[in-house]
A and B are shown apart, each in its own frame.
Chain A
Amino acid sequence: KAGVTQTPRYLIKTRGQQVTLSCSPISGHRSVSWYQQTPGQGLQFLFEYFSETQRNKGNFPGRFSGRQFSNSRSEMNVSTLELGDSALYLCASSPRVAGGSDTQYFGPGTRLTVL
């Protein structure tokens, strides 16, 4: 079974621009979560989508948004990029058998650099 895929793998943007990252979950997985990883803040939860609905949200500004499509694929968008948004963005999928106990499987991440 193919793993979680994320595109693009690397991205360079300038301040003020917006960016869209894409995530395809493992086949059959219905939940997609997004995390941001930075050297200073570590791994932080952004949001989770299940059945095209945001189920949980981390403590990030409204510039960070996402959506999920009917095929469970997900995108996240960051508008008005700031230097501090430079990070590794990781997507994870889970079967969503039950909230909390599911194991989340991660993709390779998208490395975003904001200049």
Chain B
Amino acid sequence: AQKVTQAQTEISVVEKEDVTLDCVYETRDTTYYLFWYKQPPSGELVFLIRRNSFDEQNEISGRYSWNFQKSTSSFNFTITASQVVDSAVYFCALSEARGKTSGSRLTFGEGTQLTVNP
């Protein structure tokens, strides 16, 4: 069975600080997909990134960066120079590879509430 753990329940930082959100996953599959979503107070889950298990290259998108390490089963997310608008709950999720006719599902971590104070 697959599992995602986000050990940090809440993080509070001051604006312009860098912050890293941790994500550790468990799966028996050799091919899988990892995701990060942001959930602002409005409730909608906003897609941030998808990473394939066979691609360990780190990615940077503006102030966001992701560090994927298969050796430690981790997929951490860093926000550089945080802003108040980054305040939200962030979810890490895992999906296992399936054929086109099979179903798919996301297994989510517990989420990390990030508060960025001015």
* CB atoms of B106 and A104 under 8 A apart: yes
Counting contact residues on chain A (CB < 8 A from B), the size range is 20 to 34
Minimum CB–CB distance from B7 to chain A (whole Å) comes to 14
If over half of A's interface residues share one DSSP class (helix, strand or loop), that class is named, otherwise mixed; here it is strand
Q: Which one of A35, A96, A103, A109 lies within 8 Å of B35 (CB-CB)? A: A103
Q: Which residues of chain A are within 8 angstroms of B96 by Cβ–Cβ distance?
A: 100
**A99-B35 contact in complex given A48-B104, A108-B44, C-beta closer than 8 Å:** no
* CB atoms of B108 and A106 under 8 A apart: no
Q: Interface size (B, Cβ < 8 Å)?
A: 30
Minimum CB–CB distance from B28 to chain A (whole Å) comes to 14
* CB atoms of A103 and B103 under 8 A apart: no
If over half of B's interface residues share one DSSP class (helix, strand or loop), that class is named, otherwise mixed; here it is loop
* CB atoms of B95 and A101 under 8 A apart: yes
**Taking CB as reference atom, which chain A residue is nearest B37?**
A106
Minimum CB–CB distance from B50 to chain A (whole Å) comes to 5
Report the Cα distance A54→B52, complex, angstroms. Answer: 25
Q: Which residues of chain B are within 8 angstroms of A88 by Cβ–Cβ distance?
A: 43
**Taking CB as reference atom, which chain A residue is nearest B111?**
A42
Q: Which positions in A face B, CB cutoff 8 Å?
A: 31, 33, 35, 42-45, 48, 50, 54-58, 88, 90, 92, 94, 96-109, 111
5 nearest A-B residue pairs (beta carbon)? A56-B103, A99-B98, A55-B103, A106-B45, A43-B108
> What are 10 A-B residue pairs whose CB atoms fall within 8 Å in the complex?
A33-B104, A42-B111, A43-B111, A55-B104, A99-B97, A99-B101, A99-B104, A101-B33, A103-B47, A106-B44
